[in-house]
Structure 1
Amino acid sequence: MERLPYIDQHSTSIAADRTQAWAALLRTTCKNPDDLSTLPRGFTLDEAEPPARLSAKGRHPFSRYRLTFILDELDPCTTRLTARTDAVFPGLHGRIYKALVIGSGLHRLVVRNMLHRIATAAGERS
């Protein structure tokens, strides 16, 4: 696993045990929750430790990045879900891209929305 500079992390509490929260994470992030390789476009599976950790990585001309979901059981009915982002933005174009995506706050909004969708999916209990 390549070491990338830390960017940020965001967390939310989910009213579900860790197994239910893990299932909601997969239903929300994978096209096929039974196949971890079906992550969204731009991401490939980096590592998975069910039901505790899912890490996806990606790259494009302006960045190399990793998004890691960490599920911590706070009590038998509550899970803290954390989304941690690590990335590098090489060169002038990378610095401009970082300013547009990270500096503008867009990344923060997208990640917080994703955490909200996962928490909502955990409440659906399919």
Structure 2
Amino acid sequence: MERLPYIDEYAITVAADRETTWHAVLRTMCRNPKDPETLPFGFILDAAEQPDRFACKGRHWFSVYKLVFLLADDPAGGTRVTAQTWAAFPGVKGKIYRALVIGSGGHRIVVRNMLRRIAAQSISDPTKRV
């Protein structure tokens, strides 16, 4: 996949270690958390570098995109999870699609919701490994 333009990033600090948080990312993002390739429709696995980086990518008529989760130890304790979005929106239809998805704030809501779900998964069953 070509180098995509940076769109945005959002982060949350999770009250769990990176290993626990990694498994929470898998439980949140994958239909089968034991198989990182079981991503939702529209995504394929780009990288699963336990416990540091989980990346998925995709493409359709109006965009080419990548969503990257970076996990790092937070100096205050816990794990800092950052979700970065990279995407290109080619052509006129791509510009319209970008306005609908990014410009409307819908993308921000979805990504922040993913981060909250990862945090909740980390806390709700910190001993659960996949």
- Please, what TM-score do these two structures have when normalized by structure 1? 0.96
Give ranges in structure 1 of 5+ residues lacking alignment.
none
Give ranges in structure 2 of 5+ residues lacking alignment.
none
The separation in 2 between residues aligned to 1:27 and 1:49, in whole angstroms, is 15
The separation in 1 between residues aligned to 2:98 and 2:77, in whole angstroms, is 38
Show the counterpart of 1:115. 115
Identity %: 57
Show the counterpart of 2:89. 89
Is the aligned partner of 1:65 residue 2:65? yes
Three-state SS of the structure 2 residue aligned to 1:84 is strand
> What's the CA shift for 1:11?
0.0
CA contact (8 A) 1:17 1:76 kept: no
The separation in 1 between residues aligned to 2:81 and 2:37, in whole angstroms, is 21
User: Root-mean-square deviation (CA), in Å?
Assistant: 1.2
> What's the CA shift for 1:48?
1.6
Q: Matched residue pairs, number? A: 126
> What's the CA shift for 1:47?
1.2
> What's the CA shift for 1:124?
1.4
Change (3 A) 1:48 1:2: farther
Three-state SS of the structure 2 residue aligned to 1:86 is strand
The separation in 1 between residues aligned to 2:83 and 2:42, in whole angstroms, is 17
Structure 1 segments (4+ residues) deviating >6 Å? none
Show the counterpart of 1:15. 15
